[in-house]
Amino acid sequence: MLKEDVGKGDITSNAIIPTRTTVEGFIKIEQDGVAAGLEEAKWLLEKCGLRAKLIVKDGQGVNKGAHLLEVQGNARKLFAVERTVLNLIGRMSGIATETAKAVKLANEVNAKVKIAATRKTILRWFDKRAVVLGGGLSHRQGLYDAILIKTSHVKLIGSIEEALKRARNNAPGEKIEIEVKNAMEALEAAKCGAHAILLDNFSHREIRKALELLKRNGLRDKVLVELSGGINLRNIKEFARHDADIISMGCLTHSPKWMQVYMRLNAH
């Protein structure tokens, strides 16, 4: 991020700021929310030879106008890293804030349900960390750390039973989640030993049918049920009312509303 911004150098600062000019300043937030990205910002500032001090902690709720971080050091170095730091804090704080809102709304009607991220990210590690700071779950960090059999996998293999069998045999000990297309497939997946079942883009009627079918067959408590697809802050309460374990929301990371943050500087 920093390299693509700085490139061969900050020609503006190098042209008009004397080499040894020093400054001090702070980063301020312009909205109520959850602070995130501060540890990363501090690390980056210090990596660039500046001194940084956190005023609040990552994951802490903050009010409009709060100072998040103090910084001191060479002016040219600070101008070079300023935008990258603000982008990181603005995006991560936005994701953390939206996640915290989603958690609060969902838990108002279902205290047990968990909110999770998806792989619809731009800055994978940073986006996922921001979700966790907001009170959500990372879910899969990538394709390498959990098995999730999608409907497209099943289509190529031929059946849910065979897909689950191959996953168990070839990746022993791994938890296996599988996406299904309807209530009967959810029942089949549970009977075949899936650890978790993904109901993606199901209507409320279809969700109820799948959950009731699992319950009637004594399998509801043997699997985790995840809801996903088109879930946002406007409709999350409706989905949270179902007896699901996890609600995953792509909107948390694929289109987050950034928090407005800016840096104020004073010359020494």
pLDDT digits (tens, 9 = 90+) for 223-255: 999 999 999 999 999 999 999 999 999 999 999
Q: Which residue has the higher pLDDT, 15 or 2?
A: 15
Exposure letters 168-181 (e unless 16+ CB within 10 A, then b):
beeeeeeebbbbbb
112 catalytic per annotation: no
Out of 58, 82, 179, 185, which one is annotated catalytic? Answer: 179
Confidence band of 159 (pLDDT split at 50, 70, 90): very high
pLDDT digits (tens, 9 = 90+) for 67-105: 999 999 999 999 999 999 999 999 999 999 999 999 999
Confidence band of 266 (pLDDT split at 50, 70, 90): confident
Q: State residue 7's pLDDT score.
A: 83
- Residue 198: name the closest of 152, 232, 148 by CA: 148
53 catalytic per annotation: no
Out of 77, 83, 119, 168, which one is annotated catalytic? Answer: 83
Out of 47, 57, 64, 150, which one is annotated catalytic? Answer: 150
pLDDT digits (tens, 9 = 90+) for 25-47: 999 999 999 999 999 999 999 99
Q: State residue 223's pLDDT score.
A: 98
Whole-number percent of the chain with pLDDT over 70: 99
Could you say which of 3.40.190.10, 3.20.20.70, 1.10.1240.10, 1.10.3210.10 is the CATH number of the domain covering 101-254?
Answer: 3.20.20.70
The answer to whether the 2-95+257-267 and 101-254 domains have the same CATH topology is: no
Give mean pLDDT, residues 44-59: 97
200 catalytic per annotation: yes
The four Cα atoms 130, 46, 54, 255 give a dihedral, to 10 degrees, of -20
221 catalytic per annotation: no
The domain locations on the chain are 2-95+257-267, 101-254
Q: State residue 195's pLDDT score.
A: 97
42 catalytic per annotation: no
Q: State residue 6's pLDDT score.
A: 77
Across the chain, what does the average pLDDT equal? 95
Rounded (10°) angle between helices 183-191 and 204-216: 30
* Helix or strand (DSSP H, E) at 148: strand 147-149
Could you say which of 3.40.50.300, 3.90.1170.20, 1.10.10.10, 3.40.50.1980 is the CATH number of the domain covering 2-95+257-267?
Answer: 3.90.1170.20
Cβ neighbour number for residue 57 with a 10 Å cutoff: 12
